[in-house]
Amino acid sequence: MSVSALGIVLFQCAASAQAPDYPNKPIRIITHSPAGASPDVVARIWGERLSAALGQKIVVDNRPDGAGAIAMGAVAKAAPDGYTLGTMTFSHAVDPAIVAQLPYDTARDLAPVRQTTQGSLMLAVNADSPHRSIAALVASAKAQPAHLAYASSGNAAPTHLFAEVFKARTGTDIRHILYKGGVAATTALLGNQVEILSTSGAAVIAQIRAGKIRPLATGSPERMPALPDVPTLAEFGYTGFDVRDWQGLVVPAKTPKAIIDRLSAEMTKALEQPEVKDRFATLGVETVGTSNPEAFGALIQAELTRWAKVVRDSGVRAD
């Protein structure tokens, strides 16, 4: 085949990939969380709206694993045709720093579409705990180094790193007790096996509303809309503290720009719907209204850089 003929074929293939009939078959969303967990529920909510907008069925494909590498690797290796989407979360920005031989390159093999939601990580205690504020907790931790313990949902998980950043900023020595998943960590707190829980607000909002868990402070710069009475760490003097649990949509690299832009635009319309915002608020997360491929790409890159440094400085290692 001549160079000119090859060029025509490649042009036709590119044009076909960007054809206005996209999509013409079901779309798959791959998430690393099990059914019922926050990333899964969030994906199903916006997936319903995106399905209606695109006129095609959208199926959520759950591939749970600790670091999320299996699920995101499947997205990275999928055909770049707009029919395989992936939910990227905070944890995926940490993976390159802690997972040996990650089966994909986050910056090279994935293309950002837009951020979808964000939530707050928080430190919480049992409702009957004597620690009624972050100030009281820090004072107790400094008075008795290594006496208090906190539970996280996994080694090198966002909840673990959040607590380690908190310890570094406050100069406290608090022991880390590792649990396999957020449910186990929460159960340990409720059973008084640990004094502190590092968690996402979304994971324990039901227990907070039921009066079983007392949130002390969040790591986001603003208060959670779903829990407006919970202060931020910045309000206790730890300014510049910004650790949020975020989610977004990515596709395989080399997916045509026209498809990425279409997905981003339709997602924006879906996330602006009041009923979608209300459903997310019930879960303890909020929609991100102003995002696009460029903005989400910048967030991912900033988080990759940031958490690589945190991992180096803290000495955290994956299981």
Q: Where are the domains of the chain?
A: 3-118+245-314, 120-236
Contact (Cβ atoms closer than 8 angstroms) between residue 46 and residue 248: no
| Numbers of helices and strands, H then E, in the chain | 12, 10
pLDDT of residue 12: 44
Phi-psi map region of 101: left, alpha, beta (phi>0 left; psi -120 to 50 alpha): left
**CATH, range 120-236:** 3.40.190.10
Q: How far apart are CA 316 and CA 319, in angstroms?
A: 10
Cβ-in-10-Å burial (0-12, 13-18, 19+) of 318 comes to: middle
pLDDT tens, the chain, 319 aa long: 444 444 444 444 444 445 568 999 999 999 998 888 888 899 999 999 999 999 999 999 999 876 688 999 999 999 999 999 999 998 899 889 888 889 999 999 999 999 999 999 999 999 999 999 999 999 999 999 999 999 998 888 889 989 999 999 999 999 999 998 888 999 999 999 999 999 999 889 999 999 999 999 999 988 998 899 999 999 999 877 788 889 999 999 999 999 999 999 999 999 999 999 999 988 889 999 889 999 999 999 999 998 898 888 877 766 5
pLDDT for 318 equals 61
Phi, psi of 161 (to 5 degrees): -65, -40
H helix or E strand, kind and range, residue 122: strand 110-126
Instruction: Encode 232-268: b = buried (16+ Cβ within 10 Å), e = exposed.
Output: bbbebebeebebbbbbbbbbbeebbebbbebbbebbb
Query: Residue 116: which of 262, 288, 316, 266 has the closest Cα?
Result: 288
Domain pair 3-118+245-314 / 120-236, same fold: yes
Helices 257-271 and 274-283 sit at what angle, rounded to 10 degrees? 80
Cα–Cα distance measured from residue 31 to residue 16, given in angstroms and rounded to the nearest whole number: 28
Please report the pLDDT score of residue 20 as a whole number.
65
59, 28 in Cβ contact below 8 A?
yes
Cα→Cα distances 284→90, 163, 191, Å: 16, 20, 23
Residue 107 carries which side chain, given as an amino acid letter? Answer: A
Q: Which is nearest to 30 in space by CA: 295, 201, 252, 279?
A: 252
Angle at 173 between CA 168 and CA 174, to 5 degrees: 105
Q: What is the pLDDT of residue 316?
A: 73
CATH 3.40.190.150 fits 3-118+245-314, yes or no: yes
Distance CA 106, CA 95 (A): 9
Of 39, 42, 96, 94, residue with least CA distance to 63: 39
pLDDT value for 312: 84
